[in-house]
Amino acid sequence: MSKLNKLMLAVAAMCGSGAAFAAGGAVADEFKWMTFAVFGAIIAVTMAITYWAARTTHTTSEFYAAGRSVSGIQNGWAIAGDYLSAASFLGIAGLISLYGYDGFMYSVGWLVAYITVLLVIAEPCRNIGKYTMGDILAFRNDPKKTKTVAALSTITVSTFYLTAQMVGGGVLIKTLIGIDYETSIIGVGILMLAYVVFGGMKATTWVQITKAVLLVIASLILVFMVWSPYGFSLPAYLQAVVGDEKIVAQVAKLLGDKATTMTPEELGQRFLEPGLFLKSPIDQISLGLALVLGTAGMPHILMRFFTVPTAQAARTSVIWAMAIIGGFYVLTLFLGTGAAMLVGPAKIASIDAGGNMAGPLLAQFLGGGEQSYLGNFMLAFVAAVAFATIVAVVAGLVLAAASAMAHDIYVGVIRGDHATPKEQVVAARVASVIVGIIAITVGILAKGQNVAHLVALAFAVAASANLPAVFLTLYWKKCNTYGVMAGMVVGTLTAIGLVMISPNMTYPKAVLASANKVLNGEPAVPAKEAQPAVERSSFMCELFAMDGCVLAKPAQPASAEKPAKPGAADKLAGLNAKLQPLEASLPTITDAAAKTAAEADITKLKKDITATEKAKAKAEADLKTFEGQTTSIMGLEKPFFLLKNPGLISIPLGFLMVILFSLFTRDKRSEEMWDELYVRQNTGINAEAATAH
């Protein structure tokens, strides 16, 4: 045990020394010590949990399933913890702060997803399964074949989700406190490995619970502070939101030309109306389908149902998870609009374009602002919770991928289920280290890449491959090995393939064109007459870019002539020409009011110059990176598949493949085991029991 102790101390020390290199970030230098203190305290708590959990983690069931001793309520908090990852916790608050209603609408699908989990997945999985999704499929299908396919799919989904979390985490820590990207990734990786390798599922679960409780408390405090000045009245609060001039300015910016004919009241109200962010309803339905069906196929969520003692406890845990997750998203409405009103969308976007800093910045503002102790303490607290979130979610994903590797592939397929208990635990720990190292490597390699679409892709693969296989195995008598294999392979490949040719990829031609626009300016656009609405030629044209397709366009009002825009170099010269005489004249101004006005002008000009220089540098870098390239890595000049999320096509295809292959092939075992599977999934007879301590 002392060895364990030393290792943990070493981990803590490494995280501490990494922190010492910090510079830059959202927190001012003189308050950094406070951030590190809060981070240190949270890391210390999680280490204590791991130490405690490690003492009771010896057998396979303890390592993968916490000895099936987690209560329903505890598991509910842990599921909520797994789900309120940085993407949904920081991301949705950010979307609401920048785009209002659409951000809130986006959050709904994440909760509705749990209805599928509750009604069709949680209890049967607890009654049938042991440690992994592969166990559920192998119950009546050919064990070696289905375990191999299930493990590959689990590792694929986990890797996509993991990469998004790692990159998001690295960027978040850098933005908040200025620790290097690489150091952050290694820190996250080592901490997470400490939880998983020593404490297994028990440590991972309790770290999730701790984090989820802290997250909910922090959000409740912030919402209380935001909402209480309005006497907790929804209309009064939203009245203040729509009347705020920062929000009016944001809506005007989003709407562009259309905003010129609207009054400030209309612009403010527009923030509470749909359509500022989500433009394509078909894409939204596709994403909604992936969320609602994908959550139930997420390996790290499925795995949680093996940690409770009974199917009834699995049911209780989903109910609690739904209460916590739903309640949290309702709070997010206030966090997002509060951040927009108090901090301002422009400032939020200036620190992180995706709005991820909305929550932390709101905390800083409510505590008293950038220069106050309380403000920086609250920022540090929210940031530390966000950090714990990433580490804990990554730990859950690594555990899921490692269990697929060790339990399904090594023990199930290679050793034919004949490994000794000791071998199994060693295999599980070794697999965790392998997956952990892969996660750190991928995280560092993916630096600077746009990985936001990987979360959506992970859900799409889970919905297209895992859910049809698990669902039909549990509920359809005729389902068999070949159907499951065909469905999982085709579902995974279709989802990935469609994303590769979708607008998510980088298309050099478009990048080069926009870079050239920035550098060389745009020519004047002549005045246009009003255009009537155009109807699309067919539904398929909304999905694929085919020859002869006419896309739907709403009617356009007549527009006035737009003047030419100067290139970056000309714009900079113009700004500097304005700045110099102002600066020169500043010492000569004696009138105090005039002087303040001149100083404000100078600050604004300097800000514009910095922004233009930044845009110019980015455009030049883009030109250099994509010089001479005309096609994406798939050899396309522009996207062929037009939706960002492939679910609308890949999910029905996954189901269809399972059904067709099951109907046209025969598998004796799948037929013989049906009675046992169906009786057991409904009654829980012979379900894996909890280990007694």
Partner 1 sequence: MSNPNINWAAIDSNPKFQALHRKKIFFLWGLMVFSLIFYFLLPIGAAYYQDLFKTKVWGVVNFGILFALSEFVVAWLIAFVYSKKANAQFDAMSQEIINDVNKGKI
Nearer to partner 1, 541 or 579 (CB): 541
For 519, the token pair is: 């550098």
Cα 634 from Cα 164, distance rounded (Å): 21
Give every CB contact of residue 420 below 8 A, 6+ residues apart in sequence: none
Tell me the sheet residues that pair with 641.
Answer: 544
Q: Is 278 in the site for partner 1 (CB under 8 A)?
A: yes
Q: Is 111 in the site for partner 1 (CB under 8 A)?
A: yes
Cα 60 from Cα 412, distance rounded (Å): 13
Cα 98 from Cα 23, distance rounded (Å): 28
Q: Is 231 in the site for partner 1 (CB under 8 A)?
A: no
Q: Is 471 in the site for partner 1 (CB under 8 A)?
A: no
Question: What distance lies between CA 538 and its chain's CA centroid?
Answer: 33
Cα 366 from Cα 373, distance rounded (Å): 11
Q: Is 220 in the site for partner 1 (CB under 8 A)?
A: no
Q: Is 234 in the site for partner 1 (CB under 8 A)?
A: yes
Of 36-44, 113-121, 338-346, 641-649: span binding partner 1 (CB under 8 A): 113-121
Nearer to partner 1, 297 or 443 (CB): 297
Of 269-277, 522-530, 604-612, 647-655: span binding partner 1 (CB under 8 A): 269-277
Nearer to partner 1, 476 or 626 (CB): 476
| Least spacing, CB of residue 685 vs partner 1, in Å | 6
Helix (H) or strand (E) holding 460: helix 452-461
| Least spacing, CB of residue 386 vs partner 1, in Å | 24
Applying CB under 8 A, which of residues 252, 259, 319, 433 lies at the interface with partner 1?
A: 319
| Least spacing, CB of residue 356 vs partner 1, in Å | 22
Applying CB under 8 A, which of residues 272, 413, 446, 510 lies at the interface with partner 1?
A: 272
| Least spacing, CB of residue 389 vs partner 1, in Å | 22
Q: Is 229 in the site for partner 1 (CB under 8 A)?
A: no
Q: What backbone torsions phi and psi does residue 528 show, to the nearest 5 degrees?
A: -120, 150
| Least spacing, CB of residue 192 vs partner 1, in Å | 31
Please give the residues from 81 up to 110 whose contact with partner 1 meets the rule CB under 8 A: 101-102, 104-105, 108-109
Of 154-162, 385-393, 617-625, 677-685: span binding partner 1 (CB under 8 A): 677-685
Distances (CA, A) of 398 to 158, 189, 197, 467, 544: 7, 10, 10, 20, 36
| Least spacing, CB of residue 112 vs partner 1, in Å | 4
Nearer to partner 1, 329 or 387 (CB): 329
| Least spacing, CB of residue 667 vs partner 1, in Å | 18
Q: Is 238 in the site for partner 1 (CB under 8 A)?
A: yes
Tell me the sheet residues that pair with 366.
Answer: none
Please give the residues from 320 up to 359 whose contact with partner 1 meets the rule CB under 8 A: 322-323, 326, 329-330
Which of 12-18's residues contact partners 24+ apart within 8 Å by CB, and which partners?
12/40, 12/43, 12/44, 12/47, 14/187, 14/190, 15/39, 15/43, 15/187, 15/190, 15/191, 16/40, 18/179, 18/180, 18/183, 18/184, 18/186, 18/187
Cα 518 from Cα 73, distance rounded (Å): 54
For tokens 């501490």, the residue is 16
| Least spacing, CB of residue 208 vs partner 1, in Å | 20
Applying CB under 8 A, which of residues 57, 146, 250, 284 lies at the interface with partner 1?
A: 284
Distances (CA, A) of 183 to 180, 608, 617, 627: 5, 33, 26, 31
Q: Is 686 in the site for partner 1 (CB under 8 A)?
A: yes
**Residue of 199, 684, 605, 651 whose CA lies nearest to 462:** 651
- Helix (H/G/I), strand (E/B), else coil: 562: strand
Burial pattern 45-56, b for ≥16 Cβ within 10 A else e, equals bbbebbbebbeb
Q: Is 417 in the site for partner 1 (CB under 8 A)?
A: no
Q: Is 655 in the site for partner 1 (CB under 8 A)?
A: no
Nearer to partner 1, 533 or 577 (CB): 533
| Least spacing, CB of residue 102 vs partner 1, in Å | 8
| Least spacing, CB of residue 104 vs partner 1, in Å | 6
Q: How many CB atoms lie within 10 A of CB 602?
A: 15
State the distance between the two ends of the chain, measured CA to CA, in whole angstroms.
20
Nearer to partner 1, 26 or 96 (CB): 96
| Least spacing, CB of residue 127 vs partner 1, in Å | 10
Q: Is 521 in the site for partner 1 (CB under 8 A)?
A: no
| Least spacing, CB of residue 242 vs partner 1, in Å | 5
Please give the residues from 116 up to 175 whose contact with partner 1 meets the rule CB under 8 A: 116, 118-120
The count of chain residues that interact with partner 1, using the rule CB under 8 A, is 52
Q: Is 285 in the site for partner 1 (CB under 8 A)?
A: yes
Of 237-245, 457-465, 519-527, 533-541: span binding partner 1 (CB under 8 A): 237-245
Of 22-30, 165-173, 244-252, 681-689: span binding partner 1 (CB under 8 A): 681-689
Cα 385 from Cα 379, distance rounded (Å): 10
CB 296 within 8 A of CB 116: yes
| Least spacing, CB of residue 675 vs partner 1, in Å | 4
For 20, the token pair is: 């010492």
For 290, the token pair is: 């992936």
Of 35-43, 398-406, 557-565, 671-679: span binding partner 1 (CB under 8 A): 671-679
Q: What backbone torsions phi and psi does residue 357 show, to the nearest 5 degrees?
A: -90, 5
| Least spacing, CB of residue 238 vs partner 1, in Å | 5
Q: Is 112 in the site for partner 1 (CB under 8 A)?
A: yes
Nearer to partner 1, 240 or 615 (CB): 240
For 542, the token pair is: 């909304």
Nearer to partner 1, 102 or 352 (CB): 102
Distances (CA, A) of 372 to 7, 137, 323, 376, 539: 37, 56, 35, 6, 56
Distances (CA, A) of 254 to 228, 343, 409, 536: 30, 18, 50, 25
| Least spacing, CB of residue 113 vs partner 1, in Å | 9
Q: How many CB atoms lie within 10 A of CB 431?
A: 22
Applying CB under 8 A, which of residues 4, 12, 14, 115 lies at the interface with partner 1?
A: 115
Q: How many CB atoms lie within 10 A of CB 481?
A: 25
Distances (CA, A) of 500 to 3, 636, 643: 47, 10, 11
| Least spacing, CB of residue 101 vs partner 1, in Å | 6
State the residues that interact with partner 1 by CB under 8 A: 101-102, 104-105, 108-109, 111-112, 114-116, 118-120, 234-236, 238-239, 241-242, 269, 272-275, 278, 281, 284-285, 288, 292, 312, 315-316, 318-319, 322-323, 326, 329-330, 675-676, 678-680, 682-686
